[in-house]
Amino acid sequence: MARLDWDDTFSVGAAMIDQDHRRLLGELNRLAETVDRGDTKGARDGFDSLFEAILRHFEREERFLLAHRYPDVETHHRTHAFKAEQILTARDLCAARLAHGEGQEVVDYLVEWLERHIRVEDMEYARFLARLPPASARPALAN
Ligand SMILES: [Fe+2]
Ligand SMILES: [Fe+2]
């Protein structure tokens, strides 16, 4: 079964955000295991839990980017709004598929969706973060 395992190529260069992404990968992998077991109710709960975690992550990520004065934060916010809309639409479809034992397709979709979020969309700001001076040289951003 397709699933995502964390490695350094997922890192955006910010420990807090990497931790968040690791957690999302963990939730997705747990959901994949639930689907493997054929546990439809567990899979639906797992999907809802992942969905909530994604929304919380988007908020946290945007606050982080604002605090670091990322110039394209508005564009990134719009990307998040679009992604949230996508997954909200997929939620009902996924519930139906899970009920028909087609959980593998749901997992495949989520793997692609999440991998794109981190590896493509978030890597846009990772390049900006990499150019910032070390945190110790930025007292204004300490909190
Ligand atoms: Fe992210
Ligand atoms: Fe993001």
Superfamily covering domain 15-131: Hemerythrin-like (1.20.120.50)
- Extents of the domains making up the chain: 15-131
Q: How far is the CA of 100 from the centre of ligand 1 (A)?
A: 31
Q: Which ligand is nearest to the CA of 53?
A: 1
102-121 tens-digit pLDDT: 888 888 989 999 999 999 99
User: Which ligand is in closest contact with the Cα of 24?
Assistant: 1
Q: 17 pLDDT exceeds 70?
A: yes
**How far is Cα 17 from Cα 24, in angstroms, rounded to an integer?**
11
Query: Which ligand has the shortest distance to the CA of 118?
Result: 1
Find the 131 Cα to ligand 2 centroid distance in Å: 18
Residues 45-90 have pLDDT tens digits of 998 999 999 999 999 999 999 999 999 999 999 999 999 998 888 8
CA of 93 to the centre of ligand 2 (A): 24
